A and B are shown apart, each in its own frame.
Chain A
């Protein structure tokens, strides 16, 4: 009996250690373009990674098969510049740990020979992954990591097509200024943010903008991410009772915030959220009835489909995989791969240096993407300055309408939200 147990343990260990060996040495076919993807596939943000997988697989399908869509990079089957080569994605799990992200990036580069990497949701992981891609000389596309510090590190191989947090906050304050001009009363704001890189960055910019534009900060509350209780924090919000509440929270905290507000009987006059948790379907499935009228900044709006019908088709393809509509995160992930495919097509190569040059030269009009952006054109720091955010208002039953900027808007904002 004892021998058996020991043998069992040892053989289990040996099997686990040897299992991957077989996969390591497979040869790379010339007709495929291998792209690495680093996302949280387990842990508290696993859903983000699973959705990203669906979004990127949808994009790869659109590139590899012949769809008739007005999207840059979608025409024809495979990548034309490489004789119709197909895209193959290799997914890796970083578990929100910068060290693991870096190790996975190295593995993707040295074992799977990827020609570029897309990632990573967490800005802290994007920081180490992009340092690794820089050292190996292949491009990194930060699809949805929005910390402004990322593009300020003089990296040659770092690209971000989407807006960073400062651009988002600026759009939020632009909107408030516009509301003020229309005669609405907005004197004070309350900042409510979690304490990781995302919340800290977000609140720093919001503090600065509030001071510049003359909004009084009624409360500035920093809380511990994944906190078990937000009662004390919500009490402070309630006593501050600002005209606009500006939360920067991830999914679980967002749900807890809304539940705690309901328990303590606090109804904010208006909420303009820094997306993240407030663009997650889970939040609206759980506490959506209390969020009608909430405004969230976004990178994406399905309302755009009215102007660009192909977005409906893309959304259907995504929905068939993921069982949900494209959202803020998934639309950016989807677009990141198409931008990369377009660059590889023009580079006619899978060499890191040449793809980098093609990305640096990219100039894609917004109309040929699914995003509400003016265009995709990277600055010398790798940031696309023309990625205009949108503001969306939740109207109930898992639906949003675009209310800002006017070019993309389909309705006027309901203000205050409980009116």
Chain B
């Protein structure tokens, strides 16, 4: 008797779920298409630069969100993976003439392995202790690179001047290729998040985030889940670092491995909505243009007005919407359902 009723309701639920997922994908496709068309309207090089940075930080924050948002392991040391990607690509390209495309994947792989090696001891720590460990490890990485002459030490490494070329990712004045690369990277990280979100890993990560002991009692392999999240997160962060190195064409330890990068990767996700599919993108789309544009147009006077605006914004969001900006829409959706 009951066996005939249950499958039907489950089926209905599954259908509703599948159509919701499909709709999400369609909406995302439309948003990506709209963003891809932006350079048609934004012809100013400076504004294109802002768009590129926004997409890059959206992608980086999306990568950070996999470990920090879904799995709940707040890392404040992602600058390390960013730096590994930037340095691997730069050294392979500048010293050995290896294509940045390969260097990028090599850097990503190195970062993923590094994340596993560091995860081995660090994932035994919980909560704030884990976060502090990530800060310390990233600082050690920064110091190492500072003193490593092979990597240019404090002098950094400048990319050579070459002709515009997709193979070497060098474009002297043109920003559009970088824009599409950054957009591509963001789409990939978004899709990875989208598919993992509803996969076994996705559920496991959220279980680990909510309560590791309860998750373990239900058969979730907590440690392995964290390791997988760290490796995937580090891989894409390193690709972002490789992109940054090609984009700026000069790297030094302070400009790719400083602590503020770790914060800049976490902030958009925290601001937009931690552990959500669109949180990092929303956060980056607000945070990066504001920091860039206020610095450029209000920062030249030396009054610090740009930093005041930046700080105020973060404070307002933290006080008014601690779960992130996306929670505004979530609440209104719920109340609509109720009424």
Q: Does A124 reach chain B (CB closer than 8 Å)?
A: yes
Quick one: which of A10-26 are within 8 Å of B by CB?
12-13, 16-17, 19-20, 23-24
Residues of A within 8 A of B53 (CB): 103
Q: List residues 234-280 of chain B with CB under 8 A from any CB of chain A.
A: 244, 247-250, 252, 254-255
Chain B CB within 8 A of A308 CB: no
Is the Cβ of A98 less than 8 Å from the Cβ of B255?
A: yes
Does B177 lie at the interface of the complex (its beta carbon under 8 Å from any beta carbon of A)?
A: no
A124 lies within 8 A of B255 (CB): yes
Contact of A195 among B147, B293, B306 (CB under 8 A): B147
Closest to A127 in B: B250
The stretch of A80-88, A197-205, A263-271, A397-405 in contact with B is A197-205
Chain A residues with Cβ below 8 Å from B133 are: none
- Interface presence of A5 (CB below 8 A): yes
* Complex Cα–Cα for A124 and B196 (A): 40
* CB-defined contacts of A13 to chain B, threshold 8 Å: 286, 290, 313
Q: In the complex where A9-B316, A128-B249, A196-B254 touch, is A19 in contact with B297 (Cβ < 8 A)?
A: yes
Docked pose: A197 CA to B317 CA in angstroms: 38
- Which of B11-19, B108-116, B149-157 forms part of the interface with chain A? B149-157
Indicate if A106 sits at the interface (CB-CB under 8 A).
yes
Whole-angstrom distance between the Cβ of B228 and the nearest chain A Cβ: 32
Interface string of A1-45 (1 = CB under 8 A from B): 000011001001100110110011000000000000000011000
**Complex contacts, A261 vs chain B, CB 8 Å:** none
Q: Per-position contact with A for B296-308: 1 when CB-CB < 8 Å, else 0? A: 1101111010110
* Among candidates A49, A100, A131, A199, residue contacting B154 with C-beta atoms closer than 8 Å: A199
Cα of A26 to Cα of B255 in the assembled complex, Å: 33
Which of these binds chain B: A89-97, A356-364, A385-393? A89-97
Please tell me if B289 contacts chain A, counting CB pairs below 8 Å: yes
- Chain A residues within 8 Å of B249, by CB: 128, 131
The one of B155, B172, B309, B325 in contact with A197, judged by C-beta atoms closer than 8 angstroms, is: B155
Complex Cα distance A124/B156, Å? 8
Tell me the bound Cα distance from A103 to B51 in angstroms. Answer: 12
Chain A contact residues (Cβ within 8 angstroms of B): what range? Answer: 35 or more
Inter-subunit contact A42/B156 (CB<8 Å): no
A107 touches B255 (CB 8 A): no
Whether B143 lies near A91 (C-beta < 8 A) is no
With A46-B302, A98-B250 as known contacts, state yes or no: A111 contacts B255, CB within 8 Å. Answer: no
* Complex Cα spacing A106 to B49, Å: 9
CB 8 Å contact bits of B205-245 with A (1 = contact, 0 = none): 00000000000000000000000000000000000000010
Across-interface contacts of A195 in B (CB, < 8 A): 146-147, 154
Nearest-neighbour CB distance to chain B for A90, whole angstroms, equals 7
Q: Is the CB of A110 within 8 A of B300?
A: no
Contacts A19-B297, A224-B143 given: A135-B302 contact, CB under 8 Å? no
Residues in B with CB closer than 8 Å to A97 are 255
CA of A17 to CA of B317, assembled, Å: 17
Interface residues as binary, B305-339 with A (CB distance below 8 Å gives 1, 0 otherwise): 01101000100110010000100100000000000
Interface size on B, residues (CB 8 A): 47
| Complex Cα gap A318–B67 (Å) | 54
Chain B residues within 8 Å of A110, by CB: 44-46
Residues of B within 8 A of A19 (CB): 293, 297
Verify if A153 is at the interface (C-beta below 8 Å from B): yes
A-B pair count, CB < 8 Å, reads: 127
Whether A131 lies near B286 (C-beta < 8 A) is: no
Contacts of A201 in B (CB 8 A): 155
Q: Roughly how many angstroms separate A127 CA and B286 CA in the complex, as a whole number? A: 30
Q: Any chain B CB within 8 A of the CB of A67? A: no
Chain A interface mostly: helix
**B142 smallest CB distance to A (angstroms):** 9
**B294, CB-defined interface residue at 8 Å:** yes
Residues of B within 8 A of A134 (CB): 161
B297 engages A93 (CB within 8 Å): no
Docked-complex contact A128 and B147, CB < 8 angstroms = no
Residues of B contacting A102 with CB < 8 Å? Answer: 248, 250
Query: A91, B301: Cβ atoms under 8 Å?
Result: yes
- Centre residue among A19, A24, A49, A103 by max chain B CB count within 10 A: A103
- Alpha-carbon gap, A196 to B142, bound state (A): 12
A197 pairs with B156, CB closer than 8 A: yes
Q: Which residues of A contact B317 (CB under 8 A)?
A: 9
Alpha-carbon distance A196/B296, docked complex (angstroms): 25
Chain A contacts for B49, CB-based, 8 A: 103, 106-107
Contacts of B299 in A (CB 8 A): 41-42, 92-93, 95
Q: Are A16 and B294 in contact (CB under 8 A)?
A: yes
Residue B158 CB within 8 A of the other chain: yes
Known: A98-B252, A106-B45, A197-B155. A136 touches B289 (CB 8 A): no
Q: Do A53 and B302 touch across chains, with their CB atoms under 8 A apart?
A: yes
Closest B residue, CB atoms, query A22 = B297
**Contact of A222 with B by CB under 8 A:** yes
Determine the distance from Cα of A383 to Cα of B304 in the docked complex, in whole angstroms.
Answer: 34
Given the contacts A98-B255, A131-B250, A41 and B302 also touching, CB distance less than 8 Å: yes
How far, in Å, is A411 (CB) from chain B's closest CB? 36
Sorted from nearest, which 10 A-B pairs have the closest CB atoms?
Answer: A93-B299, A91-B300, A107-B46, A20-B297, A41-B302, A200-B154, A135-B172, A50-B302, A110-B45, A99-B248
Could you list which residues of chain B lie within 8 angstroms of chain A, going by C-beta atoms? 44-46, 49, 53, 143, 146-147, 153-156, 158, 161, 172-173, 244, 247-250, 252, 254-255, 286, 289-290, 292-297, 299-302, 304, 306-307, 309, 313, 316-317, 320, 325, 328
A93-B295, A124-B156, A197-B252 provided; 13 other pairs, C-beta below 8 A? A5-B320, A6-B328, A9-B316, A12-B313, A41-B301, A42-B295, A42-B299, A49-B302, A99-B255, A103-B296, A128-B249, A197-B156, A200-B153
Sample (16) of A-B pairs whose CB atoms are under 8 Å apart: A16-B309, A19-B293, A20-B293, A20-B296, A91-B302, A93-B296, A95-B295, A103-B46, A104-B296, A106-B46, A107-B49, A110-B45, A124-B250, A131-B249, A135-B161, A135-B172
Q: Name A's B-contacting residues (CB within 8 A).
A: 5-6, 9, 12-13, 16-17, 19-20, 23-24, 41-42, 46, 49-50, 53, 90-93, 95-100, 102-104, 106-107, 110-111, 124, 127-128, 131, 134-136, 147, 149, 153, 195-197, 199-201, 222, 224
